[in-house]
Amino acid sequence: MVNTWTTRDGEMADEIAWRVYGDRADGLTALLEANPQLAQLPPMLPAGLILSLPDLPEITADDDTLIRLFS
């Protein structure tokens, strides 16, 4: 399911990704891939942009990309 986000003046893509996806490293990448028009805009986004927020795949304990700092 794809959700949307309407920007407020001065928000930044990385801030939105953090609010939506938490500390997932792939959150910002997914946001930028779903909204390629962001590459044309300054870092501080204007108000009123409607951004697509794609769902991220779930990470499982078996996932080879999972890095555990502490066990």
- Sign of dihedral through CA atoms 29, 17, 43, 5? positive
CATH number of the domain enclosing 20: 3.10.350
Q: What is the mean pLDDT of the chain?
A: 88
pLDDT band at 63 (very low <50, low <70, confident <90, very high): low
71 within some domain: no
Name the domain count of the chain: 1
pLDDT tens digit sequence for 14-37: 999 999 999 888 999 999 999 999
Q: Is the pLDDT of residue 54 over 80?
A: yes
pLDDT at position 18, please? 95
Tokens 């949307």, located at residue:
4
41 within some domain: yes
